[in-house]
Structure 1
Amino acid sequence: MPLDPALAARMADADFWPRYLLEDDDTYDDHFDEDEDGCAKDDVDDEDDEDDEDEFQARFALDGAHALLLDISLPFTTYDLHLTAPGLPEPVQLGWDDQAHFHPHVLRWAELDRLARAFALTDPQLRHPGPVLALLARFTVLDEHDDPDAITPLLDAAFHHVRPGAATEGPRPETRDWWELRNLAGTGLTWVTREDGHPACDQPDDLRTDLPLYSLRTVDGEDFPFAAFAALTARADDILADVAAHPALADPAVRAALERCTAPDGHTHLPALATAFDAACHTHPVLQRALREPHSRAEACWAVETLAALTPGELARRWFGPSALNGARHWDLNLELPTLARPFRYARHLTDDLTGRLKAAALGHADLNGGTISYGPDGAPVAETSRVQIRIRDDLAAGLTLIAATLATHTADPAAVLKYATYPYEVVELP
């Protein structure tokens, strides 16, 4: 089933992906404007109502019975993932993501990749890597066994395909944001086999971590449809196996061309493979397009991997080499900023300036994340303190220098305190 045309059109709008990926910083003070004196003015009543039609459902189907349903509510930034499968009288929720009580840890990367390949083979509109990866990556959880060398090229290509106007160099900002948010390596996350034979995730309750597991797919989970989900992934595996068993693959010319394509420079031999397929009467439109007119090298890569029955990710490592995410580091900081007697949007302006400087230097980003507010005699809100969440990437010293320069530019209160956002929350000295 192709994507709903309304959703496909909405995904092409400039503001869709920033909203879907929560790149826009919608904090409490967005409900207020400043008057000409810099004081807060409540404008909530003046705002237009959210577009009630800005809600969609994406249906990714393997056949008439096996499908994933993604409900998208942009006005409320809530995203729900459901499963339909034989034996289920109605769609069953697998997980959800929002800004409150999220449970987004549903899929392993290998499952998402295999499902996306099978969806693409079933529906030519769902090119892989493309909308399936870009939309469902938020429902994926990573651990120590997930290799950035195999993952980065696909996710970079997926986001470039759905956001062609954004930067093309990888790792893309969306890929890195996702990798840091969904990577639970080092947090005690393990996958175990339940008594019914289905894999489930687990994390020790007593382990202090800033990335806890939020999942219905746990060892003692009673609400997750384990058997039905296994049927979905088994159906996807059957689709991929059928492709690898096509009679044309027994043709000697096809085998020779395919072998050349599995080498580190194999992408240079794609035209010869496509020609060999034509001669052997292999006419699958999705695979022919992936070989002849791929939107990225990654699209051709998964097609060759599938045809050659290689382990997913095996050829990506050869064609693309080491990922820049190998060895990547980041530090999360909290800035407590006194803002009493400042213009109401003072903290917003400072944060926007800081995140602009950090992004320009490829050093991270900053987000305003609440604080304390009181109300004056006239009922106008007064921001007493503001909290700024800051992520520094790869070079902590350079990031701290930018923070110090930004605070100086905005003549920040000397009482401002910067701390690590992780236990034991130590104070960070600025240069």
Structure 2
Amino acid sequence: MPVSEALRRLAETPAFWTGEPFDTEGLPAEVHLSFPVVGGYALVLDIELPSGDRALGLRRPSASEPVQLGWAPPSGPYPAALRWWELERFARLIALSDPLLPHPGLVVALLSPFAPAAADDDPAEIAAVREAAYRSLRREIPFDEQLAALASGPEQAPLPLFTSERWWPAPQVSSPQVLDEAAIASLSTPAQARLQVRAGHRFPHEDLSDLVRHASALLTEMPNHDWYAATRSLAGRIVGSGDLTAVPALLGALTGAGCDHPTVLDALSEPLVPLEACWVVETLAGAEPGTLLRHHV
């Protein structure tokens, strides 16, 4: 899914994530996001502006309109429309089908409030994935700021007395990170389920269950296909050891076998993002999601 200009602006606005009012001039009255998952199913997020209200829906195969899973104001509370493990599987498949939406990234950042922690979830794992998603939000630094930072300092070597940084302070450069540390810490903390919507008779239980079955089957079958089958044992050893130092060897084995999947190769390439590498290695090994991840949270 190409990231639209409206979504880019929202994603780069800290107040959009923290639920505070922000300037919506130039933005449409509604931002419609569709994330195809598998088998004709898609998760649909509609964001109303300027209110920031959000509605999560499930579009079924051959259907033009989604059925609503849950609705929330920007500052919450959010309904427990999805289980965390469901969202995790969906986000993996979305990343595999769309290299522009790596995991953990924008999908988790947008949809994880609708997937609060349940009693049998590991809060540390959820927090780590959510933190990685919010840290993945980046904005470009204007070129003139970068140039100013590079050009700081004296034109020629100063006298020893005047060489300290206080004499030649580097100009302040904007951070590429959208959210500050306090906001990331707050957003990463898994919320507890307070609004239960899955018990309602209008909730699309059968359709969501069908999507979960399709998603789980596709992820289970993936290690048996093409070049992945030849590297499954190596991926399994990485999962078993919990050590990511063998990831470059796995990357080499995949490229040697002819793998050209951008999502898989990017996740295993330097600079390595541990949580991104973890889910790809788990998938290639046919391991239960979280098996490798829990070694790195």
Do Structure 1 and Structure 2 share a fold, with TM-score over 0.5? yes
Q: CA deviation at 1:259?
A: 3.6
Q: CA deviation at 1:299?
A: 0.7
Mapping of residues 134-283 of structure 1, within 5 Å: 134-163=109-138, 164-166=176-178, 173-179=183-189, 182-184=191-193, 213-218=194-199, 221-251=200-230, 254-264=231-241, 266-283=243-260
Question: AA paired with 1:72?
Answer: I
Mapping of residues 79-118 of structure 1, within 5 Å: 79-86=54-61, 88=63, 90-98=65-73, 104-118=79-93
Aligned to 1:19: 16
Mapping of residues 292-371 of structure 1, within 5 Å: 292-293=269-270, 296-318=273-295, 320-321=296-297
Does structure 2 retain, via aligned residues, the 8 Å contact 1:240–1:306? yes
Unaligned runs of 5+ in 1: 31-47, 185-212, 322-431
CA distance in 2, matches of 1:116, 1:161: 14
Q: CA deviation at 1:18?
A: 2.0
Q: Deviations for 1:137-179, whole angstroms, at most 9, x for unmatched residues?
A: 111121221102322322111111114515787xx74354453
Change (3 A) 1:7 1:237: farther
Question: AA paired with 1:7?
Answer: A
Does structure 1 retain, via aligned residues, the 8 Å contact 2:117–2:123? no
Unaligned runs of 5+ in 2: 139-175
What is the TM-score with the length of structure 2 in the denominator?
Answer: 0.77
Question: AA paired with 1:183?
Answer: Q
Out of 112-121 and 292-301, give the one that drifted further.
Answer: 292-301
CA distance in 2, matches of 1:20, 1:173: 9
Q: Deviations for 1:193-245, whole angstroms, at most 9, x for unmatched residues?
A: xxxxxxxxxxxxxxxxxxxx323211xx1211111111222222233123222
Identity of aligned residues (%): 35
CA distance in 2, matches of 1:158, 1:17: 14
CA distance in 2, matches of 1:142, 1:101: 15
Does structure 2 retain, via aligned residues, the 8 Å contact 1:108–1:141? yes
Q: CA deviation at 1:131?
A: 0.5
Q: CA deviation at 1:295?
A: 6.1
Question: AA paired with 1:243?
Answer: M
Aligned to 1:130: 105
Change (3 A) 1:179 1:66: same
Point out which structure has higher relative CO (alpha carbons under 8 A, 6+ apart). Answer: 2
Aligned to 1:37: none
Q: CA deviation at 1:51?
A: 4.8
SS at match of 1:312: coil
Change (3 A) 1:241 1:294: farther
Higher helix share: 2
Aligned to 1:356: none
Does structure 2 retain, via aligned residues, the 8 Å contact 1:77–1:99? yes
Does structure 2 retain, via aligned residues, the 8 Å contact 1:103–1:215? no
How many residues are paired up? Answer: 260
Q: Deviations for 1:375-398, whole angstroms, at most 9, x for unmatched residues?
A: xxxxxxxxxxxxxxxxxxxxxxxx
CA distance in 2, matches of 1:306, 1:49: 40
Change (3 A) 1:142 1:132: same
Does structure 1 retain, via aligned residues, the 8 Å contact 2:30–2:46? yes
Q: Deviations for 1:79-102, whole angstroms, at most 9, x for unmatched residues?
A: 011111136563111101116996
Q: CA deviation at 1:183?
A: 1.7
Question: AA paired with 2:189?
Answer: W
SS at match of 1:292: coil
Question: AA paired with 2:195?
Answer: Y
Q: CA deviation at 1:66?
A: 0.7
* Greater radius of gyration (CA): 1
Higher strand share: 1
CA distance in 2, matches of 1:58, 1:73: 11
Does structure 2 retain, via aligned residues, the 8 Å contact 1:258–1:304? yes
SS at match of 1:75: coil
Q: Deviations for 1:58-88, whole angstroms, at most 9, x for unmatched residues?
A: 1100257210110112411200111111365
CA distance in 2, matches of 1:246, 1:101: 42
Question: AA paired with 1:20?
Answer: W
Change (3 A) 1:52 1:286: closer
